[in-house]
A and B are shown apart, each in its own frame.
Chain A
Amino acid sequence: MTINWQLLMPELIIILTFILVAIFDLFNSIQKTVAAWLTIVGCAIALYVSIDMLQVGMEGTEFSNMIQVDKYSLFFNVIFLVSTILVVLISMNYLGRTDRRQGEYYLLILLATLGMMLMASGNELIVVFLGLELMSLSLYVLAGYFQRSMASSEAGMKYLLLGAFASGFFLYGIALIYGGAGTTSIPKIASAITVNATSPLLLSGMFLLVVGFGFKVALVPFHQWAPDVYEGAPTSIAAFISAGPKAAGFAAFLRIFLEALQNIQSEWIVVVTILAALTMTVGNLVAIAQRNIKRMLAYSSIAHAGYVLVGLAAANKDGISSAMFYLLIYCIMNIGAFGAVILARTEDGESLMISDYAGLGFKKPLLALFMTLMLLSLAGFPPTAGFVGKFYIFRSAVESGQIWLVIIGAINTAISAFYYLRVVVAMYMREPEEELDFHPYPSLLIVALTLAAIGVVLIGILPSYFLSPAQISTFL
């Protein structure tokens, strides 16, 4: 029995980094930033290896077809690792130098990243579930990382309870699909379904999977946990939860539904279309009513999950590639937006009310510039990455005849511009109500935000350079 270790290189590098950080955390209590730097270096090497494997086009299965490494999973590895590196960069100053337990924080982030990578490369429903749990369990702890803060503990608890509930749905769905198809291997399910068309077991399993994924990526009837968790969790972790795990959820969602359940497409496409329309509409409408910027970003990230779901509803090759492309853009700009929120820190902690941002445009020009860029990109204004992402998603949906969904999406994009621009207007055109004493800029946060800003502008100007890897990486 030989194992092709080269295929698993990115995962192995993350595990090795995890062990190094753990050992370092045990025997060193003085240098607190080293754990973070080790994490960044490990992720950067894994990112380099993933990009290299993507360019070479290394593909294959391992562990008796349990793991499927292909361009699709490698592209998602790139998304996860980019967001992890950005999150670690914005975390270092945010956590401060006083906190004793920083090793755990980075260890859990590494574990969550490993879980995401497993989800994207799982060729077996059980492996996908394993990755999902590895990711979720780490995130529950991270959401409650500020033990002394009531809000953070509440966020952790809520996330744990609802997340465990969702995992139950997911697992039950897997069990029913196993009952209907006789296997949990994704390619084998695909071939089994053609034989005994649509059994009730298979259909109910499929619906339970939709519910499970719906919870994990926060689609509308299952989204209630998201605003509370994002608001209570440390802001760096809110950025993390909103980016990588959502991409991982969609990675598995797309692969399972478009590969394993491809032959009962007619059954789930209606459900997904309705969910997409609901998610976009409710997410954007409720975001208008928010006064707290973290809650606003939470509802905006719910709405963005709706846009990605349009790619799944399109159910064609372009739908997958544009969803992948959009997730890459979304991760960068959302982490950037949360990073800008961290940047606006006062002596009393973070200023989270949108009214606190009044007049910042002249008092803190750099902060306002980053915030404006990220919000414009989230809203989908032309020179930024958000625009091209939405454009390709909607184009793929038009190609597959989902005209109504695209109309709803376009209306929603217009609605979303209102609440994103409200923050920009507050920053540049309002006078501050009270003088807030903002912290000086932390240097690493500026580095992270600059990277995110470069990413957003670069993808906006040269979209094809980033889209074409996604287009050749689909599994269909």
Chain B
Amino acid sequence: MLTDYLPILLLLVFAIGFAAVNLALTHLIGPKKSTQAKLSVYESGVQPVGDTRQRISIRFGLIAMLFIIFDIEVVFLYPWAIVFKKFTENSGYFILIEMLVFIGILFLGYIYAWKKGGLSWD
């Protein structure tokens, strides 16, 4: 059963080996002429501006977290909308009430975050 995975192991070994050999070869036989421009940070062709180690306000973390929570919860609406019609044929509008309860709880969470100051910047 484990032998089924042999191709994956071979691919893994080959991929790692390919990268390692190429890196080693360029390091060993490649010419090394370093200039100021070559040693600078690679920013996709743009002149580097400042240091990357900057302090970022913790508020971004909170906003990002709230976004993720609401974003993922809204994703649940899509599969629900797809099966909605099939379910209403079989068992009435139970599925609608179910989603209303879900959105109600979501809304409560939204108001909670709002009222507790989770959405204000200061």
Segment from A18-26, A34-42, A136-144, A353-361 that makes contact with B: A18-26
Verify A19–B2 contact, CB threshold 8 A.
Answer: no
**B2 neighbours in A (Cβ, 8 Å):** 200
Q: Which chain A residues have a beta carbon within 8 Å of chain B's beta carbons?
A: 1-2, 19, 22-23, 25-26, 199-200
State how many angstroms separate the Cβ of B85 from the closest Cβ of chain A.
15
Residue of B2, B87, B112, B115 contacting most chain A CB atoms (<10 Å): B112
14 further A-B contacts with Cβ under 8 Å, apart from A1-B94, A26-B111, are A1-B87, A1-B90, A1-B91, A2-B91, A19-B105, A19-B108, A22-B108, A22-B112, A23-B108, A25-B112, A26-B112, A26-B115, A199-B1, A200-B2
Q: Shortest distance in angstroms between B3's beta carbon and chain A's nearest beta carbon?
A: 13
The secondary structure that dominates the A interface is helix
Q: List 14 A-B contacts (CB under 8 A).
A: A1-B87, A1-B90, A1-B91, A2-B91, A19-B105, A19-B108, A22-B112, A23-B108, A25-B112, A26-B111, A26-B112, A26-B115, A199-B1, A200-B2
Chain B residues positioned under 8 Å from A25 (CB to CB)? 112
Note all chain A residues with C-beta closer than 8 A to B90: 1
- How far apart sit A140 and B103, CA to CA, in the bound complex (Å)? 27
Residues of chain A within 8 A (CB-CB) of B91 are 1-2
Q: What are the 10 A-B residue pairs with the smallest beta carbon separation, nearest first?
A: A1-B91, A26-B115, A22-B112, A22-B108, A26-B112, A26-B111, A19-B108, A23-B108, A19-B105, A199-B1
Smallest CB-CB separation from B87: which chain A residue?
Answer: A1
Q: What CA separation (Å) do A23 and B1 show in the bound complex?
A: 55
Q: How far is the CA of A455 from the CA of B87 in the complex (A)?
A: 49
Nearest CB in chain A to that of B111: its residue: A26
Smallest CB gap from B114: residue in A: A26
- Complex formed: what's the CA distance from A199 to B2 in Å? 10
Q: What 0/1 readout, one digit per residue, does chain B (101-122) give for beta carbons within 8 Å of chain A? A: 0000100100110010000000
Query: Measured between alpha carbons, how far is A199 from B91 in the docked complex, in Å?
Result: 43
A2 to B91 alpha-carbon distance, docked (Å): 8
B residues within 8 A CB of A19? 105, 108
Chain B residues, CB < 8 A from A200: 2
Interface string of B60-77 (1 = CB under 8 A from A): 000000000000000000
Q: Please report the C-alpha to C-alpha distance between residue A26 and residue B112 in the assembled complex, in whole angstroms.
A: 7
User: How far apart are the CA atoms of A149 and B91 in the complex, in Å?
Assistant: 54
Q: Which residues in B have their C-beta under 8 angstroms from that of A23?
A: 108
Determine the chain B residues whose CB is within 8 A of the CB of A199 once the complex forms.
1
Residues from chain A with a CB closer than 8 A to the CB of B94 are: 1
Determine how close the nearest CB of chain A comes to the CB of B115; give it in whole angstroms: 5
Q: With a CB–CB cut-off of 8 A, which chain B residues contact A26?
A: 111-112, 115
Q: How far is the CA of A430 from the CA of B2 in the complex (A)?
A: 67
